[in-house]
């Protein structure tokens, strides 16, 4: 498996861990210096992002992905795609159609996501 395919597989695993609320897997996949910018411009760190999922404040019920691509530049990778997120925030259910970009870095042979940015699709 090439680097681009490996990063795409990890990106899929991250989406799956969000839906499953899998704290251990998220801890593995997200870098300590994660900068997670939501489509509403709020920003989370690794700790605050994982806490929002584990605490139940944010619950990803389903994430449908499409148009996923990855480009690798040495030890950095850029992933792009679109996604429809079915999410509960508090007592409110929302469906978000997004275009996203995330960045992964390889350290010691291990890839971790360091940044996420998403924009709502009208």
Query: Per-domain residue ranges for the chain?
Result: 3-120
**Tokens standing for residue 117:** 């940015």
What pLDDT does residue 122 have?
A: 85
Over 90: is that where the pLDDT of 39 sits? Answer: yes
| Per-residue pLDDT at 34 exceeds 90 | yes
3-state secondary structure of 107: strand
Average pLDDT (17-30) is 98
In the block, residue with structure tokens 């469906």: 95
Distance CA 22, CA 49 (A): 12
Q: Which fold has domain 3-120?
A: Nuclear Transport Factor 2; Chain: A, (3.10.450)
Average pLDDT value for the chain? 96
**pTM for the predicted model, two decimal places:** 0.94
Query: What percent of the chain clears pLDDT 70, i.e. is strictly above it?
Result: 99
Q: Measured between alpha carbons, how far is 56 from 59 in angstroms, rounded to an integer?
A: 6
1 pLDDT above the threshold of 80: no
């Amino acid at each position: 498996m090439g680097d681009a395919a490996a990063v795409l597989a990890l990106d899929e695993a991250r989406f799956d861990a969000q839906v499953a609320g899998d704290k251990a897997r998220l801890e593995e996949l997200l870098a300590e210096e994660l900068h997670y910018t939501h489509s509403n411009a709020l920003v989370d760190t690794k700790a605050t992002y994982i806490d929002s999922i584990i605490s139940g404040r944010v619950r990803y019920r389903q994430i449908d992905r499409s148009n996923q691509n990855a480009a690798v530049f040495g030890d950095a990778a850029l992933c792009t795609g679109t996604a429809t997120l079915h999410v509960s925030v508090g007592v409110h259910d929302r469906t978000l159609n997004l275009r996203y970009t995330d960045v992964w870095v390889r350290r010691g042979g291990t890839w971790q996501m360091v940044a996420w940015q998403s924009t709502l699709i009208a």
